[in-house]
A = this chain, B = another copy of it.
Amino acid sequence: MNQEIERKFLLKALPPHFEQMTGVPMQQGYLAIEPGGNQVRLRKMGEAAFLTVKRGEGLVRAEHEIELSASQFAALWPLTDGRRLSKQRYQTPYAGRIIEIDVYGGSNHGLVVAEVEFDGEEAAHAFVPPDWFAADVSDRPEYSNRNLARE
């Protein structure tokens, strides 16, 4: 099991050179969401498909992911009906890290967030965001993907 330590931010503006970046289309849907427990998520990222189990909320979370075949994904996807979202993911380097920018579509159209992953909690707290970042929403459940998944 891996630990995921991640901070999430709203943006003041898109990053410099955003129009030159190429995004990857991402669809995700939830098979199950336990209040305060595990989440089981399906994700298609370009042509690759994954099943991910996450545990916990907020900054530090346990996570495990397996890759699925196209037919495994197709068999399970209908069960996520009503708990799906779509977004376009862009990546840009910043201060030795990768910033992921998620531009949401569908019923979340207009929402853009940035995520940064860290090796440890200390690094997460020490992170100095670029000036195009706005509020830190890591602990705000209304910006969690499971709460944004309503399609």
Contacts and interface: CB of A to CB of B under 8 A. Distances in A.
Interface string A47-64: 000010101000000001
Contact of A32 (B1, B32, B75, B76): B32
Interface magnitude class on chain A: 20 to 34
A116 interface: no
A35 to B, nearest CB: 8
A88 to B, nearest CB: 28
Interface in A48-87: 51, 53, 55, 64-66, 68, 72, 75-76, 78-79
A64 B75 contact: yes
B38 A55 contact: no
B75 A55 contact: no
A110 interface: no
A26 to B, nearest CB: 21
A66 B31 CA distance: 13
Interface in A16-43: 31-34, 37-40
Contacts of A1: 78-79
Given A1-B79, A31-B32, A32-B40, 13 more contacts: A31-B38, A32-B33, A32-B39, A33-B34, A34-B34, A40-B40, A51-B76, A53-B76, A53-B79, A55-B79, A64-B78, A66-B75, A68-B72
